Structure 1
Amino acid sequence: MEKPILAITYERLDQWVHSLQSALAGEGFQCALGVLRGGGTLALMVSHTVGIPVAFLRYERATRTVIWDSSLPVPPAGAKVLVCEDLAGAGDTLVDCVEFLRARGLIVKTLTAGFDDLSRIHPDYGIDGRGYFLLFPWERHAYTDGYRERWTRTDAGRSGDIGEDHEFQAIGIDLDGILLPDLPPERYKANLECALHERDELLPFITMPPFDISQIKGVVTGRPETDRIRTEAWLKTHGFGSLPLVMRNPDICDDSPSCVAAYKAQAALRLGCTHFVESDPIQAIEIAQNAPLLRVIWWNTPAGKGRLVTSDDWRGTRKSCNDDPAAAHRRPKY
């Protein structure tokens, strides 16, 4: 896939829909209609933002059948409704849903989380994703090789019978700290050659993260390309030789933590990973910030457990300066 990823997070969607509050409220919609499943989230967001009822449509790709799937009745002819879908794509879903509603005398407008170069319909409200591969939280697996292969080699794409989301889970893993112990940086600084030989002799961890090795797309390490031969030898010796190995190019990325984190994030996306397992908590946070829809897990080796890492910043809540005037002068500026 050549197009760069445009990650549309839940937070971005929430902020975008809220930014449309005045415009949507002025339309006089009787209800928001979510096309299941992708449009359901957006319809609920619109409902909460504007204060209108929410209902749902179900679309059967194989027969191009639109079904009113809600306890609410179909609005009367002449009512205005907002159809919500995740993507205004090249297929028939949005076109058929709009025609279904117009055939019942409804005034229809459309809102999609995104549209791109192939969109058959330019929505009334939508995020411009032309030139990008739009990736949503509920479709992070759509970027994986397995999903794209199943979509293109059969008629599953037309019927919608692609498979369950979890079937396409694809994992990228860190090396040092995940498969084997990570030597302290001081050891490398004291004597690099001795440290490298020591690392070569290390044994794999007995207890590793509980992932299915068949789902691992590759090992992504901050080790430089100059270490490839000895790294591949270690992987082969200990039964990991079949895993693709992605190593850092020092000419492009130095060994600073921020640069290494950005490199790992991009490497994981290129591999089509849905998850990435990282041994360093700070790098895990920065990887998540660089790839917001990647499920980043910090693996705490001593504790033998992992923790999902968020990409969100937290700025905290400052106490009022009036509560302690003297303390106000000691606080850092933000």
Structure 2
Amino acid sequence: MPRPLAAFSYDYTRVEQVVADHLPQWRQLGFDAIVAVARGGLAPALVASTALDLPLYAVSYDRRHRSVSWFTAQTPPTGTHILLIEDIAGRGTTLSDSIQFLSSAGYRLHVFALAYDAQSRIRPDSGIEIPAGFRAWFPWERESITPAYYATGNLPDRPAETYASWAIDLDGILLPDVPTQAYASNLAAALSQRDGLVPNTTLPGRELRELPIITGRPEQDRTRTQGWLDLHGFRGPLIMRDEARYTAAQTAEHKAQAIIAGCHTHYIESELAQAVEIASRVPVARVYWWNGQTALSIYASLASELSPLMPQLGHSSAPPNIAEPA
């Protein structure tokens, strides 16, 4: 099975910001209308049409038959200067066939894509070139990053959610957390206590036995951790933290990087602070905080309008560390 590239995340905040960055240029070009390639182009096209106060239309593309048709009942007048918007200028034919369809109908085009790279079939007139080795990851195609979806050649034959890839935290999910102070006061006793714990009686409502486990436990604990998992019938791959990465921020970073590297679309975390930190680092993934009884979906995005004024006050500009150790 071919393996997807690493994820280059576009949450809705990033989509809005990318479009906003292009508005000054677009205002100078005198467009008459916006045309989105449905469905991926609809979100950025809606933002652009609202900001530019232009009518919004859309075309639809059938990948299997390489056919383009109008998605909207109304169409722009022939000769209209169009801003054509798509989410990605990829290696396929969606954008090239859409350009041909519109050009043949007499429209003048400026092409924008949220993402393209050196391998793209079409290089848009404007857009964002993503780094080599990455694949654009959008919230409206969250599951497209997984190996199972990738193997379909972008032609899935099942509902998108069936291609999702879940992963879970360990402590606080499968078994109770041992208090942090217990490790500090007597490490050996705390580890022995943890090894003797049984799985929680209340678990998240999914089949957890085969799910990958991304834990903040250090790699040096692998043998005893794997022993506990084997004893209680949990067979998913175990991803552990490098011992050198021990701070709260490094633990959250470890988990976020493991989510991206594993192309996971959903992750269940037991610590609220870490759930927020992970969600801010992997904005397209669905991150859940499990409090032992219920789950809350967590979304976190940097609020630039509240960036601290510390530099002017002579303090550090580093953001506060809100994560707690696993």
- TM-score w.r.t. the length of structure 1 is 0.86
| 1:158-237 correspondence runs (5 A) | 160-213=155-208, 217-237=211-231
Structure 1: unaligned runs, 5 residues or longer: 152-156, 318-331
Q: Residues 217 and 271 of structure 1 are in contact (CA less than 8 Å); yes or no, is this contact kept in structure 2?
A: no
Separation in structure 2 between the aligned mates of residue 42 and residue 314 of structure 1, nearest angstrom = 20
| 1:317-328 correspondence runs (5 A) | none
Per the TM alignment, residue 52 of structure 1 is displaced from its structure 2 partner at its CA by 0.4
User: Which amino acid letter does the alignment assign opposite residue 94 of structure 1?
Assistant: L
Tell me which residue corresponds to 2:237. 244
Separation in structure 1 between the aligned mates of residue 105 and residue 151 of structure 2, nearest angstrom = 38
Per the TM alignment, residue 284 of structure 1 is displaced from its structure 2 partner at its CA by 1.0
Separation in structure 1 between the aligned mates of residue 228 and residue 207 of structure 2, nearest angstrom = 20
Q: Label 1:217 to 1:149 Cα distance change in 2 as closer, same or farther (>3 A).
A: farther
Separation in structure 1 between the aligned mates of residue 24 and residue 128 of structure 2, nearest angstrom = 17
Separation in structure 1 between the aligned mates of residue 305 and residue 128 of structure 2, nearest angstrom = 30
| 1:295-306 correspondence runs (5 A) | 295-301=286-292, 304-306=293-295
CA displacement, residues 112-155 of structure 1 (integer Å, 9 cap, x when unaligned): 1111121111111111114122212222212211112232xxxx
Question: SS state of the match for residue 213, structure 1?
Answer: coil
Separation in structure 2 between the aligned mates of residue 333 and residue 262 of structure 1, nearest angstrom = 21
Higher relative CO (Cα under 8 Å, sequence separation at least 6) belongs to 2
Tell me which residue corresponds to 1:320. none
Question: SS state of the match for residue 150, structure 1?
Answer: coil
- TM-score w.r.t. the length of structure 2 is 0.88
Tell me which residue corresponds to 2:309. none
**Which of 43, 46, 71 is residue 45 of structure 2 equivalent to?**
43
Per the TM alignment, residue 244 of structure 1 is displaced from its structure 2 partner at its CA by 0.7
Q: Residues 147 and 162 of structure 1 are in contact (CA less than 8 Å); yes or no, is this contact kept in structure 2?
A: no
Q: 1:125 and 2:126 equivalent?
A: yes
Per the TM alignment, residue 311 of structure 1 is displaced from its structure 2 partner at its CA by 2.0
Q: Label 1:119 to 1:144 Cα distance change in 2 as closer, same or farther (>3 A).
A: same
**Which of 262, 266, 269 is residue 278 of structure 1 equivalent to?**
269
Per the TM alignment, residue 4 of structure 1 is displaced from its structure 2 partner at its CA by 4.1
Q: Residues 146 and 264 of structure 2 are in contact (CA less than 8 Å); yes or no, is this contact kept in structure 1?
A: yes
User: Which amino acid letter does the alignment assign opposite residue 310 of structure 1?
Assistant: Y
Question: SS state of the match for residue 45, structure 1?
Answer: helix
Tell me which residue corresponds to 1:17. 19
Separation in structure 1 between the aligned mates of residue 217 and residue 24 of structure 2, nearest angstrom = 51
Tell me which residue corresponds to 2:31. 29
CA displacement, residues 201-253 of structure 1 (integer Å, 9 cap, x when unaligned): 11111111112337x6410111112211111111111121x2111111213x1
**Which of 146, 149, 156 is residue 147 of structure 1 equivalent to?**
149
Q: 1:292 and 2:283 equivalent?
A: yes
Separation in structure 2 between the aligned mates of residue 286 and residue 188 of structure 1, nearest angstrom = 23
Q: Label 1:313 to 1:85 Cα distance change in 2 as closer, same or farther (>3 A).
A: closer
Separation in structure 1 between the aligned mates of residue 19 and residue 295 of structure 2, nearest angstrom = 33
Task: Give the paired residue count.
Answer: 307
CA displacement, residues 60-114 of structure 1 (integer Å, 9 cap, x when unaligned): 11111110121213422x2111111110011111111111111111111111111
RMSD: 2.1
Per the TM alignment, residue 316 of structure 1 is displaced from its structure 2 partner at its CA by 8.6
Moved more, 170-179 or 20-29: 20-29
State the structure with more CA Rg: 1
Separation in structure 1 between the aligned mates of residue 211 and residue 262 of structure 2, nearest angstrom = 6
CA displacement, residues 308-331 of structure 1 (integer Å, 9 cap, x when unaligned): 1222245898xxxxxxxxxxxxxx
Tell me which residue corresponds to 2:8. 6
